Amino acid sequence: MFKILKAEHLAENIILMDVEAKRVAKSCLPGQFIIVRLDEKGERIPLTIADYDREKGTVTIVFQPIGASTYQLADMKAGDSILDFVGPLGRPSELITGDLEEVKKKKILFVAGGVGTAPVYPQVKWLHEHGVDADVIVGAKTKSLIIMEDMMKKVAGNLYITTDDGSYGRNGMVTKVIEDLAAEGKHYDVCVSIGPMIMMKFCCLTTKKLGIPTIVSMNPIMVDGTGMCGACRLTVGDEVKFACVDGPEFDGHKINFDEAMKRQAMYKTEEGRALLRYKEGKTHHGGCGFCGGDK
By the criterion CB under 6 A, which residues form the site for ligand NAD? Answer: 48, 64, 113-116, 119, 139-141, 164, 173-175, 194-196, 198-199, 202, 217, 219-220
Would you say 5 or 276 has its CB closer to ligand FES?
A: 276
Burial class (CB in 10 A: 0-12, 13-18, 19+), 150: exposed
The minimum distance between CB 146 and ligand FES, in angstroms, equals: 29
232 binds, among ligand FES, ligand NAD, none (CB under 5 to 8 A by kind): ligand FES
225 binds, among ligand NAD, ligand FES, none (CB under 5 to 8 A by kind): ligand FES
**Is the omega angle on the peptide bond into residue 122 within 30 degrees of 0, that is, cis?**
no
User: What does the alpha-carbon distance between residue 248 and residue 222 come to, in Å, rounded to a whole number?
Assistant: 9
- The four Cα atoms 282, 233, 223, 65 give a dihedral, to 10 degrees, of -160
**Residue among 90, 92, 286, 287 that touches ligand FES (CB under 6 A):** 286
Give the H or E element holding residue 15.
strand 14-20
CB 205, CB 188: distance < 8 Å? no
204 binds, among ligand FES, ligand NAD, none (CB under 5 to 8 A by kind): none
The minimum distance between CB 33 and ligand FES, in angstroms, equals: 10
Give the H or E element holding residue 53.
strand 45-53
Q: Given the rule CB under 6 A, which of 133-141, 202-210, 240-248, 249-257 is the region that contacts ligand FES?
A: 240-248
116 binds, among ligand FES, ligand NAD, none (CB under 5 to 8 A by kind): ligand NAD
Would you say 175 or 207 has its CB closer to ligand NAD?
A: 175
**Residue among 51, 135, 224, 249 that touches ligand FES (CB under 6 A):** 224
User: What does the alpha-carbon distance between residue 113 and residue 173 come to, in Å, rounded to a whole number?
Assistant: 9
What size, in residues, is the chain?
295
The answer to the question of residue 242 lying near ligand FES (CB under 6 A) is yes
Other beta carbons within 10 Å of 125? 18
The minimum distance between CB 47 and ligand NAD, in angstroms, equals: 8
CB 89, CB 58: distance < 8 Å? no
219 binds, among ligand FES, ligand NAD, none (CB under 5 to 8 A by kind): ligand NAD
**Residue among 230, 248, 252, 287 that touches ligand FES (CB under 6 A):** 230
User: What does the alpha-carbon distance between residue 181 and residue 197 come to, in Å, rounded to a whole number?
Assistant: 22
293 binds, among ligand NAD, ligand FES, none (CB under 5 to 8 A by kind): none
User: What does the alpha-carbon distance between residue 175 and residue 280 come to, in Å, rounded to a whole number?
Assistant: 34
User: What does the alpha-carbon distance between residue 156 and residue 232 come to, in Å, rounded to a whole number?
Assistant: 31
Residue 72 per-residue DSSP state: H
Would you say 100 or 288 has its CB closer to ligand FES?
A: 288
Summarize as ranges the residues that interact with ligand FES (CB under 6 A).
Answer: 222-232, 242-244, 285-286
